[in-house]
Amino acid sequence: EDQVTQSPEALRLQEGESSSLNCSYTVSGLRGLFWYRQDPGKGPEFLFTLYSAGEEKEKERLKATLTKKESFLHITAPKPEDSATYLCAVTNSGYALNFGKGTSLLVTP
Amino acid sequence: EPEVTQTPSHQVTQMGQEVILRCVPISNHLYFYWYRQILGQKVEFLVSFYNNEISEKSEIFDDQFSVERPDGSNFTLKIRSTKLEDSAMYFCASSEQGRNSPLHFGNGTRLTVT
């Protein structure tokens, strides 16, 4: 059975304190790994798609990387507006995204 | 920027009643989805829809659920006889292409079954 495990469940950072979020996955025939951001009461907002091991994507203070077993979302010098829940999801041959439970990030001034 | 819109934002219904959740996907997108998120749990796939038919569904999507694209802009999820455990946030999503394509989500309908 496909599984997506995100860690830590919650993370509190000071503004400017860089860190990484982890997404470990077991899926037969990974076709894509997705990172989303979810603010309270809102739908997930697309950030990145990674398709193969070694691939990296960047957007502002965020950088996503992918290996054969896990993905990292690196946050460099975070700001309070980066506070949100970050979701990882994988897909294999089908249409469904299989989500992890997310990492709740709080960045304090 | 184009977005997926969902109505209503909050729906309260009594157990056993039928509800219809409505979505307007992004206009040039061809693939449509429903997901749900029970409070405190992960986002779960319900169904995908393309070319006026279901392309994939999960075990959650049983006979009480149905989807429809009644016209060129709307996409609906019907729950025939609601149960307490159907209480959740329901998200509609759409994508330009199919598999492996980023999904764009609406802000959800919070369904409360009493």
What would the pLDDT profile of A45-103 be if each residue is shown by its tens digit?
Answer: 999 999 999 999 999 999 999 999 999 999 999 999 999 999 999 998 888 999 999 99
Indicate yes or no: CB of A95 within 8 angstroms of CB of B33.
yes
Contact A102, A8 (CB under 8 A): no
d(CA B92, CA B4): 7
Contact B96, B30 (CB under 8 A): yes
Which of these, A37, A53, A43, lies nearest to A85 by C-alpha position? A37
Peptide bond into B8 cis (omega under 30): yes
Beta strand pairing status for B10-13 and B109-113?
Answer: parallel
For chain B, what percentages of helix, strand and coil (3-state, to nearest 5) are there? Answer: 5, 50, 45
Give the strands of the sheet with B19-24, arranged side by side. Answer: B5-7, B19-24, B75-79, B65-68
Q: For residue B2, is pLDDT > 80?
A: no
Q: Is B100's Cβ below 8 Å from some Cβ in A? A: yes
d(CA A41, CA A20): 24
Indicate yes or no: CB of B56 within 8 angstroms of CB of A94.
yes
Grouping H, G, I as helix, E, B as strand and the rest as coil, residue A94 is coil
Residues 6+ positions from A11 with CB-CB distance below 8 Å:
A19, A21, A103, A104, A105, A106
Contact B9, B107 (CB under 8 A): yes
Q: Is B51 exposed, middle or buried (0-12, 13-18, 19+ CB in 10 A)?
A: exposed
Q: For residue A2, is pLDDT > 80?
A: no
pLDDT of residue A95: 87
Q: Is A44's Cβ below 8 Å from some Cβ in B? A: yes
Q: Is B13's Cβ below 8 Å from some Cβ in A? A: no
Q: In the block, which residue shows the tokens 């439970």?
A: A101
Contact B32, B98 (CB under 8 A): no
Q: For residue B75, is pLDDT > 90?
A: yes
- pLDDT tens, position by position, B90-103: 999 999 988 888 99
